[in-house]
Structure 1
Amino acid sequence: MDGVQLHRLGKRLIDLARQVTTDAGDTVLTPGEIAVLEDVLKHPGSVVTEIQARTGFAQSHVSTSVSRLRERGLIIASPDPEDRRRTRLTLAEIAHQAIMRRAGRPADEAIAKAVGEDKADRVLALLNELTQLLD
């Protein structure tokens, strides 16, 4: 496997994961908003410049995403106790619960749809083995 094949596989797995973790009734978020939510989930109490550095997005893009997420009640902003000019960001409980609920959805159906019922069990077994080997 070369780098291009690995990249294509990674992209395909990300697309499958997105199918599993979202559905038609879910709130529609931009890729930037999803990246910001993921970053704040992993790094609660972050400031915009820290999120910008980790995601690689322009600061204006992160700020816009944070603003939209705050308006939707998905991110909570509070003043930094050490420097009141800075704002620390955390996930709202509703966002945390939604992320955990979606993350727990089984992937079996999406895998079967992608590769066919006859290959689904083998693909799932290989993915489980790969997960164990790479963790």
Structure 2
Amino acid sequence: MDGGQLHRLGRRLIELSAAATGQPGDLELTPGERAVLEDVIRHPGGSVGEIRERTGFVQSHVSASVARLRERGLITTAADPRDGRRTRVRVTDRTSRAITRRAGRRIDNAVASAVADRAQAARALVLLDELARLLL
């Protein structure tokens, strides 16, 4: 496997993940909002500036995404007690529960839809479990 194949595989796995975990009525996020939210999940209590550094987005984009996510009740913001000019960002409990529910959805049907042959779909599930154990 070369880097290009790995990249395509990664993109395909992301597509399968979205198909497996997404359901009608789930929250829709822009790619920028998703990246900001993922950063906040990985780095609770991070500042807007730190999110900007980690995501590579410009400050105005991060600030706008944080404002939209806050308005939707997905994150909370608070002034840094040591430096009131900085804003600290955390996910809400409601968001954490929704992520946990979504992450717990089974992938079997998404894989079966992607791999027409039943035996190959079952093999793909076994290989994905093995890959997760090795890389995660």
Same fold (TM over 0.5): yes
Aligned length: 135
RMSD: 1.1
Aligned to 2:103: 103
- 1:130 maps to what in 2? 131
State the TM-score, normalizing by the size of structure 1.
0.95
Encode CA deviations 1:27-61: one digit per residue, 9 max, x unaligned: 11111111111111111101111111111222221
Unmatched tracts of structure 2, length 5 or more: none
Give the Cα–Cα distance (whole angstroms) in 1 for the partners of residues 103 and 58 of structure 2.
Answer: 27
Give every structure 1 segment of 4 or more consecutive aligned residues whose post-TM-superposition deviation is greater than 4 Å. none
Query: Unaligned stretches of 5+ in structure 1?
Result: none
Give the TM-score of the pair, scaled to structure 2: 0.94
Identity across matched positions, percent: 59
Q: Which residue of 1 aligns with 2:21?
A: 21
Q: Pick which of 52-61 and 7-16 moved more.
A: 52-61
Select the structure with the greater relative contact order (CA < 8 A; seq sep ≥ 6): 2
Provide the secondary structure at the position in 2 that maps to 1:116: coil
What amino acid does structure 1 have at the position aligned with 2:111?
I
Q: SS of 1:44's equivalent?
A: coil
1:84 aligns with 2:84: yes
